[in-house]
Structure 1
Amino acid sequence: MLFANLILEFKHKNFMCKTTVLAQNQNITIAQCNNCKVLNIWRSGVLMNFSFEQFDAFYKATQRLQFDDYLENRPDGKEVVILSTPFPDISLVFTRDEWTEFFIKIDEALYMKRVYELVHS
């Protein structure tokens, strides 16, 4: 009961995150919470959470990667790129189209993040 009261109190005081969608299509949503300073990437059953600084570092580390330079084949023969994550047992897998789409959405999200920073500063 105490937990339920705490949740209601948080909602009442409006402490819940207010998410702003920065970029979105049918496969990817990139959103941020300015209060928490967290950016989320929703993609094909995967939710990636970044601080604003981590997101910028992720972008800088991946923006110049060329799909063909890291090409691998899945067991079914489909060409993919596999990106390692800080968790050794979890990797992100992209087809060529997914790779292109992913970085287009990241570019859009960074642009909109900067727009919101300018408007709200």
Structure 2
Amino acid sequence: MLNFSEQDFMSFKSMLDEYRYCESGMPFPDQRERILLHTPHEDISFAFTQEELLQLLKLLDEALFMKEVYTLMRTEPGFR
């Protein structure tokens, strides 16, 4: 995700926000249910348990919040 453009990041976050775990989960060989997520990059996919997906969503929200903070800091009067 470090190489995602801003548009890729927003697309990925929007996609995650719309996922319904109970409709998309599937059993894996370790008998745990996971959801398989594809990214804007064709060669990259992720598999998450429900807990991992919720944690990722929280972290993406925090990253977006910090991006907004840094944007505001650059536009505030007195920024050097």
> Cα RMSD (Å) of the superposition?
1.6
- The alignment-based identity, stated in percent, is 32
Is 2:55 the counterpart of 1:101?
A: yes
What does 1:71-110 correspond to in 2, within 5 Å? 71-85=25-39, 86-88=41-43, 90-110=44-64
Instruction: Give me the TM-score of the superposition, normalised by structure 1.
Output: 0.55
TM-score, normalised to structure 2, is 0.80
Q: Deviations over 1:66-119 (max 9, x none)?
A: 21121100012111000123325x420101111010000001111111111011
Regions of 4+ moved over 3 Å: none
Which structure has the larger Rg? 1
Other-structure match for 2:74: 120
Higher strand share: 1
Tell me how many residue pairs correspond in the alignment: 74
Q: What SS does the corresponding residue of 2:19 show, helix, strand or coil?
A: coil
Q: Which runs of 5+ in 2 are unaligned?
A: 76-80
- In structure 2, distance between residues paired with 1:94 and 1:81: 5
Question: How far apart, in 2, do the equivalents of 1:61 and 1:96 lie?
Answer: 15
